[in-house]
Amino acid sequence: MPLREPSTIFFQSDNVRRTIIASYWIIIILALPLWWKTTSIERLSLPSSRVRNQASKALRLPVHIQLPGSYLDTTKRSQDQLAQTLSKQGVDVVFTGGHIEGSNPTYILKHATNGLVLSDRELEYDFSDESKLSTILSELLCPPQQGHVVAPYSPRFRLSFTLLNEDSTSGNYVRSWDVSRGIRQYITPLLDQLSLLHNFTIESQVQYHAPLAFKPRPTRLSSEDLSVFVNSAEWSLCDQPLEMPESFLLPQWGGIVVHDPPSLSVDDIFPIFARQLLSLLGVSPLPVGVKYTGDVPISRWQLEALLRRRTLENTHSSQDTLRSIVTLVDQIEGMPVGWNVKDDILDALDALDKVYASSSASLRETVKQSTDAIVLASRAFFNPDMLALLYFPAEHKYAVYAPLFASAVIPVIAAAVRELLAWRRQRRQQT
């Protein structure tokens, strides 16, 4: 067969060769977005500026106090002192002589000489002695924080009542207790009042073998004994005055009542449990000298002080949480952010906006919105999807891509460059 001149074969023409090279490049360029889409992590943009803006705000809750008209001017000094104290804690006090219209109710001070008596939103106070006014009001409206004793906020608490017998084989033990009556009588009324903040699940059990890790002395437990009481060195115990039956609190965890037989009555035990539960949930005791005459266990003053405190805490910590999410997502580039995270963040921001909007109108609404905000913000923060690709580093990707793509792309680039040079030379020769 005779040899043919290569330039006469159709696929050896310059145009065909250039089309082939161009088609490679077109395919590579068209494939780039697809490759980018399939290998990138879904990272929705977060409303960062809205979060930062929100986080820089500080919530203030107003409190209206109505004084008898005649004392409105004479107690100016106490009023200023109280306003100053409470202002640091995010509460603005407004004193008035008469009733203020609005859904956020007013606390009413009345003049009476038979001591400090509390009922509903009223306080009887002897205005002849002004010296204690600001202290008493400050303790009632913003009770001093019990610090680490109060359990962190949670929308649901599980209350577990456990009766522990040290050693039931000694023949001296309590087989069962009337826990339902104790709970009904002493605990449920408290939980009903706190239902705005928390839901509760209650359960109880009896343990017949719960040996102590130390030998108790006959009458008293020392604070050293307490530190090993729960067989756990991690719980720091607060020293509280012990009484008979002896009882103490484990901060943020629970309370313990030590009871010495002969007889067990839930009427001895459950009032102490109720008191411990109030401390753990953050209900402050009334200031010394204040008498309370209401028919529900927690007075309006205490309950609303707790609501204010939880609202401020929840708002503050949901702002912090949102800011942390934004910072974290900014810092870690490989962290995916899905729709559920973004939706939770947006809903939390909306709830926070509503907190600020309703803060001067209705305390109950503000509480509700602030709990929504913290639940949504925590759910966004702990969303497990955000951990998905955290441990798949970019170096790993390059290590896999480089051997395949580098070796394949180099001939393509080389051919393109060669062809380009040939084309330029051809044009120069033509001109």
Partner 1 sequence: MATVPTILLQILATFIAGSGLAQASSSSGEEFSEELQIRPLRDGRVASTFSFRTFLHGATPRSPESLGSDDKSQHYHVFPLALGQILREYAVTELHLSMNAGKWNYDEWGYPGELGVATGAELWAWMGEGGIYTVDERWSGLRNALSGLFCASLASMDEQRTTSPLMTFVPEGDLPNWPGPHLLRHASLPSEHVCTENLTPFLKLLPCKSFSGIASLLNPHRLFDADWHGMSAHVLWHASQGVEVRLSFQLVSDPLRQSSSKRRDWSFRSLFDRSIDNRCPVASSSTIDVKLPAEEAYSLEPSPSSSDGGIGRYNLNVDGHLPSDIAMRWPSEFQYPLGSASVPLVPLALQRTLTGASQANGHLAVRVQNRLNEELRVVYLETMPWLVQFYAHTLSATVDGRKHAGLISNVSYFPPLHHSRPTTFQAILTLPPKSTVALSMDVSKAFLRYTDHQPDAQRGWDLPPAIFVPLRNGSDRIDGHSLGQRIYTPTLLVDLATPDFSMPYNVIIFTCTVMAFIFGSVFNLLTRKFVVVHLDDQHKE
Report if residue 206 touches partner 1, rule: CB under 8 A. Answer: yes
Angle at which helix 133-141 crosses helix 76-87, to 10 degrees, equals: 30
Which residue of 202, 346, 388, 389 would you call a contact of partner 1, by CB under 8 A? 202
How far are the Cα atoms of 54, 225, 231, 425 from residue 350, in angstroms, in the given order? 10, 49, 45, 66
Nearer to partner 1, 33 or 261 (CB): 261
Identify whether the C-beta of residue 98 lies closer than 8 Å to the C-beta of residue 68. Answer: no
Report if residue 399 touches partner 1, rule: CB under 8 A. Answer: yes
Nearer to partner 1, 109 or 277 (CB): 277
Report if residue 204 touches partner 1, rule: CB under 8 A. Answer: yes
Which residue of 67, 136, 141, 280 would you call a contact of partner 1, by CB under 8 A? 280
* Segment interacting with partner 1 (CB under 8 A) among 65-73, 204-212, 295-303, 305-313: 204-212
Alpha carbons within 13 angstroms on the beta-carbon side of residue 406 total 6
Which residue of 209, 220, 424, 425 would you call a contact of partner 1, by CB under 8 A? 209
* Segment interacting with partner 1 (CB under 8 A) among 61-69, 76-84, 141-149, 153-161: 153-161
When computed from its CA atoms, the radius of gyration of the chain, rounded to whole angstroms, is 36
Read off the DSSP letter of residue 116: E
Nearer to partner 1, 358 or 378 (CB): 378
Which residue of 122, 126, 130, 166 would you call a contact of partner 1, by CB under 8 A? 166
Report if residue 167 touches partner 1, rule: CB under 8 A. Answer: yes
Report if residue 163 touches partner 1, rule: CB under 8 A. Answer: yes
Q: What would the x/- binding string for partner 1 be over residues 72 to 101, using CB under 8 A? A: ------------------------------
Size of the residue set binding partner 1 (CB under 8 A):
83
- Which residues inside 3-42 make contact with partner 1, applying CB under 8 A? 3, 5-7, 12, 17, 20-21, 24
The bridge status of strand 122-125 relative to strand 106-111 is parallel
Residues contacting residue 328 through CB under 8 Å, at least 6 positions apart? 335
Per DSSP (E only), the strands in 273-427 are 290-292
Identify whether the C-beta of residue 237 lies closer than 8 Å to the C-beta of residue 226. Answer: yes
- Which residues inside 347-376 make contact with partner 1, applying CB under 8 A? 375
* Segment interacting with partner 1 (CB under 8 A) among 45-53, 86-94, 119-127, 269-277: 269-277
Nearer to partner 1, 334 or 411 (CB): 411
SS3 call for 11: helix
Longest CA–CA span in the chain (Å) reads 131
- Which residues inside 404-423 make contact with partner 1, applying CB under 8 A? 404, 407-408, 411-412, 415, 419
The least distance separating partner 1 from the CB of residue 111, rounded to whole angstroms, comes to 41
Report if residue 253 touches partner 1, rule: CB under 8 A. Answer: yes
The least distance separating partner 1 from the CB of residue 228, rounded to whole angstroms, comes to 13
The rounded Cα 45 to chain-centroid distance in angstroms is 23
C-alpha 172/C-alpha 166 separation (Å) is 10
Any idea what the Cα angle at residue 330 is, between residues 327 and 333, rounded to 5°?
A: 140
The least distance separating partner 1 from the CB of residue 30, rounded to whole angstroms, comes to 18
The least distance separating partner 1 from the CB of residue 5, rounded to whole angstroms, comes to 6
C-alpha 387/C-alpha 395 separation (Å) is 18
| Other CB atoms within 10 A of residue 280 CB | 21
Which residue of 91, 140, 256, 312 would you call a contact of partner 1, by CB under 8 A? 256
159: left (phi over 0), alpha (psi -120 to 50) or beta: beta
Angle at which helix 339-358 crosses helix 48-55, to 10 degrees, equals: 30
Tokens of 164: 């522990």
The least distance separating partner 1 from the CB of residue 347, rounded to whole angstroms, comes to 15
Nearest to 321 by CA among 194, 153, 201, 159: 153
Report if residue 236 touches partner 1, rule: CB under 8 A. Answer: no
The least distance separating partner 1 from the CB of residue 206, rounded to whole angstroms, comes to 5
Nearer to partner 1, 250 or 355 (CB): 250
Q: Say if residue 430 is exposed, middle or buried (CB neighbours under 10 Å; 0-12, 13-18, 19+).
A: exposed
The least distance separating partner 1 from the CB of residue 379, rounded to whole angstroms, comes to 9
The least distance separating partner 1 from the CB of residue 280, rounded to whole angstroms, comes to 6
Report if residue 205 touches partner 1, rule: CB under 8 A. Answer: yes
Report if residue 172 touches partner 1, rule: CB under 8 A. Answer: yes
- Which residues inside 129-148 make contact with partner 1, applying CB under 8 A? none
264: left (phi over 0), alpha (psi -120 to 50) or beta: beta
Report if residue 255 touches partner 1, rule: CB under 8 A. Answer: yes
